C-alpha cells in the first residue's frame, strides 16, 4: 500500500524525520506500506515530485529534486496526499502558518501529524473537533516531551482519569538552570545551549515560559478534555533568575526549576525552589519529566525534552501508530 505525504518545514526536525524514514524503512515494509514524501514545503523551497522525493539526497540539498509549485492548498486538494507532516515553526500570536495548513489538510481528507505547538496551544478544541468531523487522524505526540509518550500515554491507559499534571516541560530552561548551578552565568549558559542546538537564536519563547505553557495547555486539554488556551495560563519565566538566587538555593540544598502545573481551571508556569525530596529535584540538563495524579496513583514519565532527533521520533512514532490505526494492524 502506497501512502503519500507532504512535509511542511525541512529544518533540523524535518531532516531528522527524513533520516528516520530512511533508517526504519524495514519497519514500514513489515506492515506492507510504501511511504512516499511527494511534497516538501519550506520558506525557500516548494517541491513536488509525484514519484517521491529522494530523501537521501534531500537531507543534504533540495535542489533539482522536484517541480516547483506556488499554492500548497492546491497541492493538498489535487495530489492525493494521505499525510501532512507539520514541522513548521508557527507563531504563538495566531498559530500560523500551522493552524491554516492543518485545517486545509483535514478539510481535504488528509491525516495530520504535527510537532508544532502553537496551533494546538491556541486552537486545540477546534482542530480536534474538525479531525473528528472529517474522520481523519490528528496526532501530536511530538509537541510535548518529543518522543517520550506524554500525550500517547492516554492511548495506552484509555480509562485514565487525571486530576493534576505537574512537570518540567522545557529542556532549554532546565539546561540553563543546571549550568548556572555548575557556575555559569545566565548569559554563558544560554550561549552554551545555543551552541549545542538546545536553544534557538531567539530563545525568548523558552526563557519567558511560553513554550512550557503551550505544552501544559496541550496536556491539560488532552487529559482534562477541556478547551484551554495560552491566555488561561499564568506564566512567569526564568529571565529574572540571577546567579545569586541559584547559588542561594544550592546552599540550602534546593534547586530552582521551571515548573508547569495544571488542575481544573488552574494552569500555572513559574520558577519554584525545590527541596531534595521533590521528585523533580534530580531532573537535570535537557531532560523533561511529567507527573500525572490519577485514580490509579501517580504516574511519572521522564525523557529528553530538546533536540531535533527526539522531536522527529515523536512524529515517527505517531506515523506508525496512525498507519496501524488506518489498516487495523
Residue pLDDT, tens place only, 292-328: 999 989 999 999 877 789 899 999 999 999 999 988 7
* pLDDT reading at 252 higher than 80: yes
pLDDT of residue 253: 95
Question: What CATH number should be reported for the domain whose range is 154-305?
Answer: 3.30.360.10
Helical ranges in 108-242 per DSSP H: 117-133, 153-156, 171-181, 186-195, 204-207, 210-224
Q: What percent of the chain has pLDDT over 90?
A: 87
Look at residue 156 in the predicted model and tell me its pLDDT.
Answer: 86
Considering 36, 136, 179, 215, which one is annotated as catalytic?
A: 215
As a whole number of angstroms, the distance between CA 117 and CA 98 comes to 9
Report d(CA 12, CA 114) in Å as an integer. 15
Q: What percent of the chain has pLDDT over 70?
A: 100
Q: How far apart are CA 139 and CA 147, in angstroms?
A: 13
Which part of the chain is CATH 3.30.360.10? Answer: 154-305
| Mean pLDDT across 5-33 | 94
Instruction: Using alpha carbons, list the distances in angstroms from residue 223 to 95, 131, 138, 152.
Output: 22, 18, 16, 11
Average pLDDT, the chain: 94
For 124-161, write each residue's pLDDT tens digit: 999 999 999 999 999 999 999 988 999 999 988 888 89
Whole-structure pTM value = 0.95
**Where do you find CATH 3.40.50.720 in the chain?**
2-146+309-327
Q: Give domain 2-146+309-327's CATH number out of 3.40.50.720, 3.30.450.40, 3.10.20.30, 3.40.50.12170.
A: 3.40.50.720
How far apart, in whole angstroms, are the C-alpha atoms of residue 79 and residue 90?
24
**Average pLDDT, integer, range 258-270:** 96
Res. 329 pLDDT band, cuts 50 70 90 = low
**Distance separating alpha carbons of residues 18 and 24, to the nearest angstrom:** 10
pLDDT tens-digit readout, 84-122: 999 999 999 999 999 999 999 999 999 999 999 999 999
Work out whether strand 162-168 and strand 83-86 pair parallel, antiparallel, or are unpaired: unpaired
For 34-58, how does the pLDDT look when each residue is reduced to its tens digit (9 = 90+)?
A: 999 999 999 999 999 999 999 999 9
**Which pLDDT belongs to residue 289?**
97
**Catalytic residue flag (residue 215):** yes
Among 85, 102, 73, smallest CA distance to 11 is for 85
Amino acid at each position: 500500500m502506497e501512502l503519500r505525504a507532504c512535509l511542511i518545514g525541512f529544518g533540523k526536525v524535518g531532516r531528522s524525520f527524513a533520516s528516520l524514514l530512511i533508517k526504519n524503512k524495514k519497519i514500514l515494509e513489515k506492515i506492507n506500506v510504501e511511504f512516499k514524501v511527494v511534497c516538501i514545503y519550506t520558506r525557500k523551497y516548494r517541491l513536488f515530485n509525484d514519484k517521491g522525493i529522494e530523501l537521501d539526497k534531500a537531507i543534504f540539498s533540495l535542489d533539482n529534486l522536484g517541480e516547483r509549485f506556488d499554492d500548497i492548498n492546491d497541492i493538498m486538494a489535487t495530489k492525493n496526499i494521505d499525510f501532512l507532516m507539520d514541522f513548521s515553526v508557527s507563531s504563538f500570536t495566531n498559530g500560523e502558518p500551522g493552524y491554516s495548513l492543518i485545517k486545509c489538510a483535514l478539510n481535504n481528507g488528509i491525516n495530520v501529524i504535527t510537532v508544532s505547538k502553537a496551533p494546538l496551544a491556541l486552537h486545540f478544541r477546534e482542530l480536534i473537533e474538525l479531525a473528528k468531523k472529517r474522520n481523519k487522524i490528528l496526532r501530536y505526540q511530538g509537541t510535548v516531551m518529543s518522543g517520550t509518550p506524554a500525550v500517547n500515554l492516554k492511548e495506552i491507559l484509555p480509562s485514565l482519569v487525571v486530576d493534576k499534571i505537574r512537570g518540567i516541560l522545557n529542556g532549554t530552561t532546565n539546561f540553563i538552570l543546571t549550568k548556572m548551578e555548575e557556575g555559569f552565568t545566565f548569559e554563558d549558559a544560554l550561549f552554551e545551549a545555543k551552541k549545542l542546538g538546545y536553544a534557538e537564536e531567539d530563545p525568548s519563547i523558552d526563557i519567558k515560559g511560553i513554550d512550557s505553557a503551550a505544552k501544559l495547555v496541550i496536556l491539560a486539554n488532552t487529559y482534562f478534555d477541556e478547551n484551554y488556551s495560552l491566555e488561561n495560563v499564568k506564566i512567569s519565566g526564568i529571565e529574572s533568575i540571577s546567579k545569586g538566587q541559584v547559588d542561594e538555593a544550592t546552599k540550602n540544598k534546593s534547586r530552582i526549576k521551571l515548573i508547569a502545573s495544571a488542575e481544573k481551571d488552574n494552569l500555572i508556569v513559574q520558577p519554584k525552589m525545590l527541596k531534595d525530596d521533590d521528585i523533580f529535584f534530580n531532573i537535570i540538563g535537557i531532560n523533561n519529566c511529567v507527573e500525572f495524579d490519577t485514580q490509579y496513583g501517580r504516574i511519572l514519565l521522564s525523557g529528553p525534552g530538546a533536540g531535533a532527533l527526539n522531536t522527529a521520533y515523536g512524529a515517527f512514532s505517531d506515523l506508525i501508530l496512525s498507519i496501524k490505526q488506518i489498516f487495523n494492524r
